[in-house]
Structure 1
């Protein structure tokens, strides 16, 4: 059995609607996603569920960076997550899902990254 990643791109919103350094929540295929526009204009998408509390609040987190890596801090207990890898910088070994995000013709699209067996 091999793992194959299937990407289905879902339009979410206009890029102009995302404010720099702010997050928004989106529902993509019944999964809550936290979507961020970083200070340099990149768009990042991660799971919206805080793994420490089980509450869907990461889209309300504090966006920043550590050593040039974009991050989000949970608004509840302030654990910091790398937006590129999903790793918790405050508690290594804990991760959040990272999803693919892109901008096409001014629209933000997200593809959930779920490995499927084939």
Structure 2
């Protein structure tokens, strides 16, 4: 459920240093809660944005989940039922029918930008 990448519709949601490495925060983007994650492997810093609402738990909690890897996939584990969501695609690995939307995200000038 990738959102269209329209260069004119980027919104700065926070400073990159406002997110502790390898964790997430919640941002409000056009009235919708978005979970924004900062990953740092020691060499590179990347950001990802997915829907914050966990459809398995019926709660807006994904930004508080644990970030890790399942094989080659970078995922967040929901803090409630521990379902894993792929940070690149939004796919719920245990229940694909409960996948979440994703948005393009980038770092520029020390800020995290999310495409709306």
Decide: shared fold, TM above 0.5. Answer: yes
Interval containing the TM-score (normalised by the shorter chain): 0.7 to 0.9
CA distance in 2 between partners of 1:75 and 1:24 (Å):
14
Paired position in structure 2 for 1:84: 88
Scaled by the length of structure 1, what TM-score is found? Answer: 0.85
CA distance in 1 between partners of 2:51 and 2:5 (Å):
17
Scaled by the length of structure 2, what TM-score is found? Answer: 0.86
Structure 1 portions without partners, runs of 5+: 113-118
Give 1 or 2: higher helix fraction. 2
Rg bigger for which structure? 1
Residue 32 of structure 1 pairs with residue 36 of structure 2: no
What count of residue pairs does the alignment treat as equivalent?
109
Spell out, residue by residue over 1:17-55, the C-alpha distance to the aligned partner (whole angstroms, 9 max, x if none).
111111100001111000001133210000000011221
CA distance in 2 between partners of 1:72 and 1:55 (Å):
15
SS in 2 for 1:35: strand
Alpha-carbon distance, 1:5 to partner: 3.4
Paired position in structure 2 for 1:101: 105
RMSD: 1.6
